[in-house]
Amino acid sequence: DSSSISIAEYDKEQLFDGLLTSGLDQASCISKVQSHLYCKASPSPHKPSPYLISKLRSYEKLHKRCGINSRDYNINVKKIVHSKNINRAAAASMCKYLVLKPCNGLGNQMITTAATFLYAILTDRVLLIRFDKESMAYSSDQYFVPSLFMNPSFNLEITKMFLYHLGRYLFLPSYEASKLIRRFYETYLAKEDEMIGFQIRVFIPDSVPQQVAMDLVLSCTLKNKLLPKIDTQNSVSSPTRKSGTLKAVLVASLYPENGENLKAMYLNKPTVSGELIEVYQLRHEEHQNFGDNKNSMKAWTEMYLLSLSDVLVATSLSTFGYAAQGLGG
Ligand code: GDP
């Protein structure tokens, strides 16, 4: 209920405690400045350090001065392309760039972008990203931040910049993605008392059947009392909200049967705790697609919704799940 929040507090929340600049064009970036509205844990309990905020503001100035199509960019790129040798004095006054070509799946692209952005900040470079197939650029899908800690000249600086904040700073929904997020959130999730995210990723379905992975996730969830067991002793024809809290389970998986089986388990059945469980699965591709924008946007929508969960249960080794967990803080 934003009416109970003072204007100053509201602005602070909107801008993620100062992570986003107050100069953001609110009319054109409406989906970005509204994205905090879906977070139940808003304002975030994690605060960005003043040091990180000052580094981001300096970076923005540098990006504005040297970014694509700026006057400095046009001058510098010509020099870089045409000069064989640029002497030290000339180089010192020029803009420096780091050109990244993120590769593989969405989660991998995001973690490598965050890591590369951090490296760009640490070395006063402007980060440019190329998505075309043919580019000469630095290509990566790795999160190499731990190795930056090993460099003594970076170590001190990085500890002042908690990485969860870089994700919140860099990855905000586009207008199109935000429409999908809002529609799904408002239709299914806004009314729930609690939301549990399931992310089930099976890399080699021939050796680990989907059902085995799902059973593992479910038994972990029941054991930790995140979801209630079905009450087999008492039967209620159709459980009502009055009798208990409403929990939504959002299942993210490339396979529809994961969500369908869980849905069938809870459908019209009472639970021992009296809680009502509703299960949703957004979509399923049954295979991973690389470099397809529409597919990436849908994957991003799903990852973003997962990041809003009160509790996230994920199978191991998937960057998709790690990225959702990182964004959720
Ligand atoms: P990883 O391969 O699991 O480590 O994670 P990545 O995100 O790097 O790559 C997986 C790709 O497969 C993503 O870009 C998606 O296209 C797709 N994918 C995998 N799991 C899911 C899922 O649960 N939902 C959706 N929408 N896409 C998924």
> pLDDT tens across 213-227, in order?
999 999 999 999 999
Distance 16 CA to ligand 1 centre (A): 27
pLDDT of res. 1: 36
Distance 202 CA to ligand 1 centre (A): 10
pTM to 2 decimal places: 0.83
Residue bearing the CA closest to ligand 1, atom 8: 105
pLDDT of res. 23: 65
3-state SS, one letter per residue, for 53-84:
HHHHHHHHHHHHHHCCCCHHHHHHHHHHHHCC
pLDDT of res. 168: 84
Whether the complex's predicted ipTM is more than 0.85 is answered with: yes
pLDDT of res. 4: 40
pLDDT of res. 7: 40
Q: Which atom of ligand 1 is nearest to the CA of 288?
A: 12
pLDDT of res. 5: 40
Ligand 1 pocket test, candidate residues 109, 171, 288, most atoms within 8 A of CB: 288
pLDDT of res. 222: 95
pLDDT of res. 198: 95
Distance 303 CA to ligand 1 centre (A): 9
**Sheet of strand 138-140: strand arrangement:** 126-129, 97-102, 138-140
Pocket of ligand 1 (CB under 6 A): 104-108, 199, 201, 252-254, 283, 285, 288-289, 295, 298-299, 302, 318-320
Ranges of residues in the chain with a pLDDT under 70 are: 1-14, 22-43, 134-135, 156, 159-163, 235-243, 283-292
Query: Closest by alpha carbon to 304, among 110, 92, 89?
Result: 110
pLDDT of res. 61: 94
Distance 320 CA to ligand 1 centre (A): 5
